[in-house]
Amino acid sequence: MTDPGGASSRERYRAQVRTEIKEHAWAQIAEAGVPALSLNAIAKRLGMSGPALYRYFGSRDELITALIRDAYRSIADVVAAARAGGADLAGLAHVIRDWAREDPQRYFLIYGTPVPGYHAPDDTTAISFEVMTVLIDACGTPSTVSAFDTHLESHRDWAGDHAAPGAALHRALSFWTRLHGVLSLELAGHFAGMKFDPELLIAEEIAALPGE
């Protein structure tokens, strides 16, 4: 039997179970971090055997990959929507910070310390480039050109279809590193007790970006 959208009952059930597995995985990560992620423990929570769960995710790495893709897809969609609504770099920084603070474990999975022994498939990088593409668009065409801008012009094969003028790419990369530097410290609790607003620090970092 299929629904009007063409999905069979079995497909819908499989999608539902995969969603439940990922929800339990996020709960595990929140409690003990990614290294402690256990498919057998998740199976026990769901009342199924370990081998039964492996029908939905063939390995721990496959489950981690699904979580990473979901996280990248989420931040890419948030950034794209904000830019479509007219957000500039300051506005984008605000929505990215809100996204990160909503679920710090999701943030750290993709922007924190790499998971030991895990290697993400290449297609996850393609999703992360969507965010950089939006940032480059928001950077416009900076009025000044630095030595690093020129360097980027000749060493940006990594960008593929996302290539941009060196000055705009430099500005986007500077935004990215400054924002994540502050966010990583904030979410890890390193500003605790300092009694200042990290968002104001982010605003200062954006104001000091090169290329204006």
Annotate 115-152 with DSSP letters as a single string: PTT----HHHHHHHHHHHHHHHHHH---S---HHHHHH
pLDDT of residue 157: 56
| Mean pLDDT on 101-126 | 88
Full-model pTM: 0.84
Q: How confident is the model at residue 139 (pLDDT cuts 50, 70, 90)?
A: confident
| Mean pLDDT on 167-182 | 89
C-alpha to C-alpha distance for 27 and 41, rounded to whole angstroms: 11
The CATH 1.10.357.10 portion of the chain extends over 65-207
The CATH 1.10.10 portion of the chain extends over 1-58
C-alpha to C-alpha distance for 40 and 13, rounded to whole angstroms: 20
Residue 171 has pLDDT above 70, yes or no: yes
| 65-207 fold | Tetracycline Repressor; domain 2 (1.10.357)
CA distances from 100 to 36, 79, 148, 164 (A): 22, 12, 29, 27
**Token duo for residue 80:** 């794209």
pLDDT of residue 141: 65
| Mean pLDDT on 23-39 | 91
H or E element that contains 22: helix 9-32
| Mean pLDDT on 145-150 | 58
Residue 69 has pLDDT above 90, yes or no: yes
Domain with residues 1-58, CATH architecture: Orthogonal Bundle (1.10)
C-alpha to C-alpha distance for 68 and 62, rounded to whole angstroms: 10
